[in-house]
Amino acid sequence: MPRRVVVSGIGVVSPLGQSAAGHFDALADLKCGIAPITAFAVGEFPVKCAGEVRDFKGSKFLKNRKAIKMMARDIQLSVAAASLAAKDAGIYDGVKDPTRLGVSMGAGLIPTELDELGAGVAVSLDEAKRFDLRKFGRDGLANLFPLWLLKYLPNMLNSHIAIEYDAQGPNNCITAGSASGLLAIGEAARVIERGDADLMLAGAAESKVHPLSLVRLYLAGKLSTAPDIAEKGTRPFAKGRSGLAAAEAAAVLVLEELSHARARGARVYAEFAGFGTSCGGQLTEDVSPDGRAAVESMRAALADAKMGAGDIDAIMANASGLSEDESEALAIARVMGAGKAVTATRGATGHSMSASGALDAAVCAMALEKGVLPGTLGAEDPGGLPVTVVAQTREGGLTALLANAFSFGGQTASAVFRRYS
Amino acid sequence: MPDKRRRVVITGIGAVTPMASDVEGTWKGILECRSAVDYTTLFDASTFPTTFSGQVRDEALVRQFDGDPELKHSGRNVRFILVAADQAFRDSGLDPAKMDSRRTGVYLGAGEGPPDCVRFGQLLADTWTGTGVDTAAFLSGAVVSLNNLTEVFQEPNIAAGLLARRYRALGPNMTCLTACAASSQAIGEGTAIIRRGDADVIISGGTHSMLHPFGLGGFSLLTALSRRNDSPQTASRPFDRARDGFVLSEGAALLILEELSRAQARGARIYGEVLGYGTTGDAYRVTDMHPEGRSAKSAMRMAIADAGIRPEEVDYINAHGTSTDVNDRVETVAIKEVFGEHARRLPVSSTKSSIGHLIAAAGAIEAILCLLAIRDGVLPPTINYRDPDPELDLDYVPNACRKANVRIALSNSFGFGGQNVSLVLGRYPL
């Protein structure tokens, strides 16, 4: 008998809410999480809005509150989502055998806080005010936080979560851009299937609400400057889409082997039914023009779930308002047939990159449990694209959903979630 | 239970290390007890607390990509792995044009690319107000001074994407970054993918270069690096009483993992088999290893159980052996506990004594060295072992390579933050 994997806990911290239910309800109400940036001054920079988690206090989610000073924003978001997920699953105070509890997180390239490195650089200038590496080595380093490096290592999401919940089992950190979150969840499911753990805290966190991250996305031509972005979002698949909005978020699922969940009477949201990955190898688009990798990962996920295209009620699309949304729509049509129902959340939340696929995995599991499929904020005529964008939130009759998450760099991840009954 | 019907062997290897720009040169240097560590020349590190490193000295190798419109923006990490992958493919005899793209995947343990230190630092300097960075000024300055592709190439997933494109690998594609355990983890998880039947070939391994002012500076601040600035070649001295930290190195190592029957059907040369994999988390502290090596032990036990062997069957351990006070002590304790009486007869060496610590790429090069130990019947030494630490009393294969019949080797990789990975590699056929 193959070991089956279910979702038995969910934690979300996003621009739409600091709880899984809050996030889901705001999505279903077609609220927009994108708003003027408050974390720092943007001045003349043409992009003024992002998906921020406002009034976030990471320490309140921690058992060991002192650890907060060792955590970059991404890590704080991740431990918050993990805390919510652990509580939801009833494992907050630990599990019977901690060696059977693992951690699998997706993480991004975490940038240093500018003020932190700036303090070291500011004392490392020559007479012409040029940054002088010799001075940095001699004087600059002494002005940095001694644990500076540890604060930004991607696997520190895993480390802090493992410490908080005494997770001594398998531990992996996936760093594949915007595909990271869904890949980390898929990898966690594999670990449970092959018998190396019974429970995994799996998900991702990333904050792109950071000056350096904003600049990177801007230089890559990805950011929208649409004036109505705070009301309509970034309008995935819409004819008038003009780019994405940077965002920050975290989502963690508790994945659990089915009989283990049953034995302890856990609430089951949905079954993790299938997973597929591929890669197009392009450098700067999240779907290659031929859409080949997107097609491959969706087909692989369906095959893994032993399901056909007709068994999938809707796609939680990767689309975020980029021109590449068209390539995803074409790929979906190739796999699923024309006119498939798609809903896209990145328009409402902004694009939290690594975290985005984990957020959608959380939304899939909740949608299947509630029988509610959130609509797409700002949905409008997809301009001839062969998909049906779900504009209004729908109730009833969901049996399976497929989520996509694709990275700049070419990695594609697709996962199928099935209603558990 | 893992599906043991599908077995995974290694049919191609490649490497770029501080010792040499290929596998055989690296192996020869290690067996000859040479040190690849010397003063850092990539930038002026003379004022840093540590002035030396394991730097890849083959600048022609790095520069060969300067004329490529796309790759000229890539960091050293990307260039290293492209070279290592070419070597591994040639070595394997596989022709990417004739492979089933959908059955070929990539799983790397890859670090981020080097940041644009000088330009980024200058931006911070120019926008510093005395108490913090003026973010509005930073944003407007950065859009002018930073380069899009130079930033893109810092993403850790770029290498896996480029390999997928180059070798037409449309199968599973992953990058993990579990610090110093990353590329061992990649080999273990890549093996799991083939065992499960989701691919027949996985291009695995790792690459990393933290040899830049912020990387070297960051590790210095953690007081993790050796500061033996008067004697770089003897700075990495795992298990020695006078060890004072690890030596930061850069490089890449690549292994072609292939399903056994496929490799046999094409008459491939088989370096060995991935017999077992263990992964655990310390769940202890982000700054220190668990003092009894709790999860280091469970990682080794998990790998041994996965391999379906008895601990007594392990003939050689390639230790994580960083040359830090804590790692070498805890690893020794953990090995003694896992192997019991057998530990007294079990040779354990750290090749980081010769080539330093390749961080995310460390596990992959060390897995290759285990395969070569199996192939040649030679144990690589722990060099610079002069003054035994009374508490550390294993057979560290000190200062000279040694002939030995190696059927099964175990390789440990322990990452900052408590990521523990062990791999069991075996001769094929055993």
pLDDT at position A65, please? 97
Range in B138-142, B284-288, B299-303 the model is least confident about: B284-288
Domains and CATH numbers, chain A: 5-111+152-418 (3.40.47.10), 114-149 (no CATH)
Q: What is the ipTM of this complex?
A: 0.98
Is A148's Cβ below 8 Å from some Cβ in B? yes
Using a CB-CB cut-off of 8 Å, the residues of chain A touching B162 are 281, 283
**B429 preceded by a cis bond (ω within 30 of 0):** yes
Using a CB-CB cut-off of 8 Å, the residues of chain B touching A141 are 48-49, 217, 220-221
Q: What are the Cα distances from residue A159, in Å, to A164, A375, B339?
A: 9, 36, 27
Contacts of B163 (CB under 8 A, 6+ apart): A281, B81, B82, B85, B106, B108, B169, B203
Q: Is the pLDDT of residue B331 over 60?
A: yes
| Rg, chain A, Cα only | 21
Domains and CATH numbers, chain B: 8-115+154-426 (3.40.47.10)
Prediction pTM value: 0.98
**Helix, strand, coil content of chain B in percent (nearest 5):** 40, 20, 40
Which residues of A, range 41-100, sit inside 8 Å of B by Cβ?
41-45, 67, 70, 98-99
- Report pLDDT digits (tens) over B387-429: 999 999 999 999 999 999 999 999 999 999 999 999 999 999 9
CA distance B352 to B367: 13
Average pLDDT, chain B: 97
Q: Tell me the average pLDDT across A73-101.
A: 98
- Report pLDDT digits (tens) over B55-83: 999 999 999 999 999 999 999 999 999 99
Which chain A residue has the Cα nearest residue B154?
A109
| Rg, chain B, Cα only | 21
Q: Do B124 and A168 touch (CB under 8 A)?
A: no
Which chain B residue has the Cα nearest residue A163?
B283
Pairing of strands A248-257, A387-389: unpaired
Q: What percent of chain B has pLDDT over 70?
A: 99
Phi, psi of A298 (to 5 degrees): -65, -45
pLDDT at position B1, please? 40
Which chain A residue has the Cα nearest residue B417?
A159
Q: Tell me the average pLDDT across A174-190.
A: 98
Asked if B330 and B361 touch (Cβ cutoff 8 Å), the reply is: no
Q: Which residues of B are catalytic?
A: 180, 320, 357
Q: Which residue among A121, A190, A407 places its CB closest to the CB of B157?
A: A407
- Report pLDDT digits (tens) over B14-47: 999 999 999 999 999 999 999 999 999 999 999 9
CA distance B420 to A212: 32
Helices (H) and strands (E) in chain B, counts: 14, 14
**Alpha helices of A350-400 — where are they, by DSSP H?**
354-370
pLDDT at position B4, please? 56
Pairing of strands B52-53, A372-373: unpaired
- For A179-288, where are the E strands, in sequence order? 199-207, 248-257, 270-279
Q: What are the Cα distances from residue A75, in Å, to A51, A81, A106, A175, B297?
A: 17, 10, 11, 14, 27
Which residues of A, range 341-370, sit inside 8 Å of B by Cβ?
none
Q: Do B217 and A136 touch (CB under 8 A)?
A: yes
Using a CB-CB cut-off of 8 Å, the residues of chain A touching B225 are none
- Report pLDDT digits (tens) over A34-71: 999 999 999 999 999 999 999 999 999 999 999 999 99
Q: Is the pLDDT of residue B353 over 70?
A: yes
Pairing of strands A171-174, A101-107: parallel
- Report pLDDT digits (tens) over B307-324: 999 999 999 999 999 999
Among all chains, which residue has been given the structure tokens 């979702």? A7
CA distance A220 to chain B (A): 6
Q: Do A155 and B177 touch (CB under 8 A)?
A: yes
